[in-house]
Amino acid sequence: MLAHLPTPLEPADRLGRAIGLAPGRLWVKRDDLTGLATGGNKARKLELLVADALARGSRVLVTAGGPQSNHARMTAAAAARAGLGCVLAFNADPPPAAEGNQLLDRLLGAVLRFVGPVPMEALNDIVARIGAELDAAGRPAYVVPVGGSSPLGASAYVTAADEIVADLGHDDVLVVTATGSGGTQAGLAARLGHRRVLGVDVGALADPAPVVRGLAADVAALVGLAAPAGEPRLLRDQVGDGYGAPTEGTRRAVRLAARTEGLILDPVYSGKALAGLMSLDPSVLDARAVVFLSTGGVPALFTSRYAGWLAADEDDPTGPPPF
């Protein structure tokens, strides 16, 4: 077992009040508490993907992501737990020093490859080539798509949706999640329907909508559900200058979550997702319960790119919380 499941569903009334929601409406699904290598939502997908890799006799996991990829870090940890090798590709040039997630990647024993600033959409082809190289060298590789977003990987979020419904005792819910490679939103939508899942685009893909739409249908078929009707709900105004780019809205969101709930969000995914939720008029949150999915990613906060940004323009770090 890689993940500590089910993860808690916690009320967040102080945060809810700060963004205009009545008591009892806002909840946080703590998928940052899955336990594997500081936790994060990818542990759910890796439970299924690593089991498949072992069943196929693979000896190496190969995947890719952005420079501070949580998925890469958790894949390296899953490989270590399973006794497998791990190769990680990043769409960036080599950094002057390893920090944040990349420091943990090296600690976990992964081999890191830097392929330059190519689009995220190109990474799966690069991973496939690395996998073919390993196969040819006699080291059977299991290729994990970016974000673990295959139908099998994304199907883990059908289970997460079941957990949410069971904990709430009803399915009148809107789940708000960061959307990068699209698998988490797709898996949730396969179980709950597109209307009940709002993805906040973080800029990993040029257009995540067709990816989420197709993957949700594939997940539904895999688990024996009808394909969700309608179109994915996506909020696309929080990307800023691109994937991983710091924004003022994200900084406000990260601070607000910390000071109202003691909840630490990351600057690449869940911070932007909460910024998206904060940007909405509460009247458009058309559900009895709003569930914010906390997906993990704390190591990125301790990199030079984000640490100074987070502390900047701080009027009084010891002052009262903003509510």
Using DSSP, state whether 200 is helix, strand or coil.
strand
| Percent with pLDDT over 70 in the chain | 97
Backbone angles phi, psi at 105, to 5 degrees: -55, -45
Neighbours of 295 (CB within 10 A): 25
Confidence of residue 313 (pLDDT cuts 50, 70, 90): confident
> With 0-12 CB in 10 A as exposed, 13-18 as middle and 19+ as buried, what is 203?
buried
Strand order in the sheet with 60-65: 111-114, 85-90, 60-65, 141-143
Share of the chain above pLDDT 90, in %: 94
| Phi, then psi, of 177 in degrees rounded to 5 | -140, 150
Confidence at residue 312, expressed as pLDDT on a 0 to 100 scale: 86
Q: Are 130 and 122 in contact (CB under 8 A)?
A: no
Mean pLDDT of 141-168: 98
Which tokens go with 293?
A: 């999915």
Query: pLDDT averaged over the chain?
Result: 95
271 half-sphere exposure, CB direction, 13 A CA radius = 28
Residue 110 has what pLDDT?
98
pLDDT at residue number 1? 85
- H or E element, residue 254: helix 248-261
One-letter amino acid identity for 102? Q
If you average pLDDT over residues 229-241, what whole number do you get? 97
- Check whether 61 has a pLDDT greater than 60: yes
Catalytic residue among 58, 69, 149, 155: 69
The pLDDT value given to residue 193? 98
Strands 197-201, 173-179: pairing is: parallel
Give residue 164's pLDDT band: very low, low, confident or very high (50, 70, 90): very high
What is the per-residue pLDDT for 318? 39
Whether pLDDT at 265 is above 90: yes
Domains, the chain, ordered by start: 9-39+151-311 (3.40.50.1100), 42-148 (3.40.50.1100)
The upper half-sphere exposure of residue 192, i.e. CA atoms within 13 Å in the direction of its Cβ, equals: 32
Specify the pLDDT at position 323: 44
What pLDDT, on a 0 to 100 scale, did the predictor assign at position 267?
Answer: 96
Length of the chain in residues, anyone? 323
Mean pLDDT of 152-179: 98
Rounded average pLDDT over 292-310: 95
CA Rg value for the chain: 19
Angstrom distance (rounded) from CA 123 to CA 89 = 8
pLDDT tens digit sequence for 2-29 = 999 999 999 999 999 999 999 999 999 9
- Confidence (pLDDT) at 317: 46
Does the pLDDT of residue 316 top 50, yes or no?
no
* 224-232 average pLDDT score: 98
The secondary element (H helix, E strand) that includes residue 54 is: helix 42-55
Integer Cα distance of 38 and 299 in angstroms: 8
- Please report the pLDDT score of residue 315 as a whole number: 57
Active site residue 69: yes
Does the pLDDT of residue 106 top 70, yes or no?
yes
What is the C-alpha to C-alpha distance for residues 192 and 287, in angstroms, rounded to an integer?
12
